[in-house]
Amino acid sequence: MSEPVPVPSKQPVRKAFDLFDFLYKYGTIITIFVLVAVFAMTNPSFIEGGNIVNILRSISIVTIIAIGITISLTVDGFDLSVGSVASLSNAIVISMFVWFSQNTLVAILSAVAASLLVGALNSFMIVKMRIPDMLMTLATMFIIQGIALTYTKGATVSQNMVMPDGTFSEGKISPFFAKIGQVPWIILIMIVVVILVHILLTYTKHGRYMYVIGGNKEAARISGIPVNKYKIAAYMISATFASIGGIVLASRVMTAEINAGAPYLMDSVAAAFIGFSVLGAGKPNAFGTFVGAVLIGILANGLVMMSVPYYAMDIVKGTVLAFALALTYYKQK
């Protein structure tokens, strides 16, 4: 009787270390730690508790608005109107207090309602008229920017301002509303928004449907997913978060400046796209967007502490965004 021939055991194939893949997954987080170390060595006060809180406060509005952009990206869209929507909400909520002496609830609901109208306009033109997302929201950005300027007559809205008839405004901003933009509430609002959207996109069928639509719209439609309804919902949610960002901004500065939300557009877009590569997600996600906002906040804060001129900061932000896009789209290719 012949002995059985031993079968050689299969050795596990060791995957070669891929530096690019490692950087794709962890590059953003590593960059944050490196920046913190560099800025801390340059100025030890950078890592003090007060400055960390200041960074979190500074990124709160950017994160909230960027989360709205993230939602639009999940359905393969792109909402460029968020900055103008934030400006409009900022103007409306302050004017409700100063011009019309309304309470906090009415002021906030008025701002959100106006923003939802913008979201509805975007949705209708994109879904029904089939205008490309980026082109439509770019047009909306200019339209809403003009409406906000017309509404405020190009002036800053604040308490005790001079009205057109020469009298002073009598309305006062609610003390309760003023607390929204202060620490810790402004940071807590940001955290709640990030957690809620993370749960929505990661653990609910609606989030999965959005990702399916973003991956392959026709396949989603064939599978029975109501594509148009989810695209409409995405733009309505995006407008809502832009409105919340504008409201929080109004509470923080207690005035409505001309185009106050415009500067937040670039940072929000950068945060949303940087989030694609965080932990190798490869798709828009709430946690990645938050990490992207943290990176931008650390950069801005550290550069200020190093006395870098403000006009040079956009160069750094643009370079970071370009690098993040390069990683994301090269990996997808």
Q: What pLDDT digit, counting tens, does each position of 62-80 carry?
A: 999 999 999 999 999 999 9
Model confidence at 309, in pLDDT bands (50, 70, 90)?
confident
Residue 229 above 70 pLDDT? yes
Please report, for the domain that includes residue 185, its CATH number.
1.10.3470
Model confidence at 332, in pLDDT bands (50, 70, 90)?
low
CB 194 within 8 A of CB 245: no
Whether residue 12 is contained in a domain is answered as no
Residue 88 above 80 pLDDT? yes
Of all residues in the chain, what percent carry a pLDDT higher than 70? 92
For tokens 């490692």, the residue is 22
Task: Please give the DSSP secondary-structure letter assigned to residue 11.
Answer: P
Average pLDDT over residues 299-311: 88
Whether residue 129 is contained in a domain is answered as yes
Whether residue 51 is contained in a domain is answered as yes
Whether residue 320 is contained in a domain is answered as yes
Average pLDDT over residues 141-150: 96
At 12 the pLDDT is: 58
Q: Within 10 A of 110 (CB to CB), how many other CB atoms are there? A: 17
Residue 30 above 60 pLDDT? yes
For tokens 């170390």, the residue is 37
Whether residue 232 is contained in a domain is answered as yes
For residue 321, which phi and psi values (nearest 5 degrees)?
-65, -45
For tokens 């393969």, the residue is 76
Angstrom CA distances, 91 to 174, 239, 284, stand at 15, 15, 30
Residue 5 above 80 pLDDT? no
- Structure-model confidence comparison of residues 288 and 165, the more confident one: 288
CA gap 275, 281 in Å, rounded: 8
Task: Please give the DSSP secondary-structure letter assigned to residue 225.
Answer: -
Average pLDDT over residues 6-18: 61
At 9 the pLDDT is: 55
Whether residue 69 is contained in a domain is answered as yes
Residue 293 above 90 pLDDT? yes
Cis geometry, peptide bond prior to residue 184 (ω within 30 degrees of 0): yes
How many structural domains compose the chain?
1
Lowest mean pLDDT among 59-68, 136-145, 167-176: 167-176
Q: Which of 189, 62, 75 is nearest to 122 (CA)?
A: 75
Whether residue 11 is contained in a domain is answered as no
Whether residue 289 is contained in a domain is answered as yes
Residue 329 above 80 pLDDT? no
Instruction: Record the tokens describing residue 184, joined without a space.
Output: 């810790």
Model confidence at 323, in pLDDT bands (50, 70, 90)?
confident
CA gap 77, 65 in Å, rounded: 15
Give the count of alpha carbons within 13 A of 191, CB side only: 8
Max CA separation in the chain (angstroms): 113
Average pLDDT over residues 296-304: 92
Q: What is the mean pLDDT of the chain?
A: 91
Three-state DSSP at 303 gives helix
CA gap 267, 186 in Å, rounded: 18
Residue 245 above 80 pLDDT? yes
Q: Which domain holds residue 211?
A: 25-332
